[in-house]
Amino acid sequence: MNRADLIVGLQWGDEGKGKIVDMMAQSYEVVARFAGGHNAGHTIVTGGRKYALHLIPSGILNPEAVNIIGNGVVVCPANLLKEMSQFDNLEGRLWLSDKAHLILPYHQLIDQAKERMRGDKAIGTTGRGIGPAYADKIARSGHRVGELNDVEALHEKVMEYLAQNRPIFAAMGVEIPDASEMKETLVRYRDGLLPFIADTTQMIWRELEAGRKVLLEGAQGTMLDIDHGTYPFVTSSNTVAGGACTGMGLSPKRIGEVTGIAKAYCTRVGNGPFPSEEFGPDGERLRVQGHEFGTTTGRPRRCGWFDAVAVRHACELNGCDRIALMKLDVLDGFEEIKICVGYRFEGRRIDYVPYDLEHVEPIYETFPGWEKVEGVRRYEDLPDSARAYIETIEEVSGVKVGLISTSPERDDTIVR
């Protein structure tokens, strides 16, 4: 049985999945995105040019690859069309599931209004409408991409929904779009997307049966999973490996090698627990050297040391076969580097991620730093201290570090 390989984030997102997907996609014939929305961003640097992708799979930079946006994704048509405009000749190379749910303009207004109403208890969403779209999906009041085939019927259903919820929208200060404006919007979405809409479940089955190499691409990270992350400070989808099955329509037996992506340090965006966060000058240095500002929002990311406890937890959840360790070069020049190897919780040491991650204290091991690894492409050329750091990560996480990124460039990657 031919299987689809999988790439998944092991931290709070922003691990550098885009570079690894881009690198691996050069040898895959199909690259598919299975969850999330345009709140995710993948930054890819190749040939000195930077690409920021939010919905389109990172395999789009391989001219031979077919790219699929799966049913588990929530799609903002306006943003997708804008993203598509960067590329030529997408027909036959990009496909959008007819079962993916639509993010409509009022979803974004609801998202932003709810965050305002939460005040200092805000989750820290991007305000892109992802949560409300997933909420409508689960409440069975959402609308799917395939409905764009009949704009008249879709328009009628959307206006009925808006009328039914008018009191709720009014209480949140959300203005309902008028009927003609909504109709024009839906027509524009239909005209731009119709050539790309397909039954991608059948498509990916056919591709696997034909023996083609398929790579599945996640969004965000394991610690933001709706079930297994730091709830409620999470995203609204299943970001773990199991989400690839539901988000693409694949049996678990169809999942092949799982590559977990982790930074050589740790970051998160928005609110919520972050045990290894560094509040002093080292945290600011990580932010500056790592250019840690959101691809989608530009928000500065919170920075801290590598949390091996959380990564071990994520590797078990995802069934990782190997870790791709990203941005090792960001640690260049630090005199000392730390790894969180355990937590202190309720007066005792633990080596697992508890329900209440808010009240754990990190237990660190400290390692000597190194001068420079930027651009190194062979493991044996890394400084001894860098190799010791990597091998400790392997020991604590229980998973081999198979890929090591030493700069944003595609070719500056050590393959072990």
Cite the active site residues: 14, 42
C-alpha distances in Å from residue 347, one per residue of 177, 278, 343, 363 = 54, 22, 10, 12
- The phi and psi torsions of 365 (rounded to 5 degrees) equal -110, 140
Spatial distance between the Cα atoms of 247 and 348, rounded to a whole number of angstroms: 39
C-alpha distances in Å from residue 324, one per residue of 226, 346, 368 = 23, 33, 22
Give yes or no for a contact between 253 and 7, defined as CB atoms under 8 angstroms apart. Answer: no
Spatial distance between the Cα atoms of 145 and 138, rounded to a whole number of angstroms: 16
CA distance between the termini of the chain: 27
In sequence order, which residues have a C-beta less than 8 Å from that of residue 53 and are 6 or more positions away?
A: 18, 41, 42, 43, 44, 60, 83
151-164 and 179-193 helices cross at what angle (nearest 10)?
140
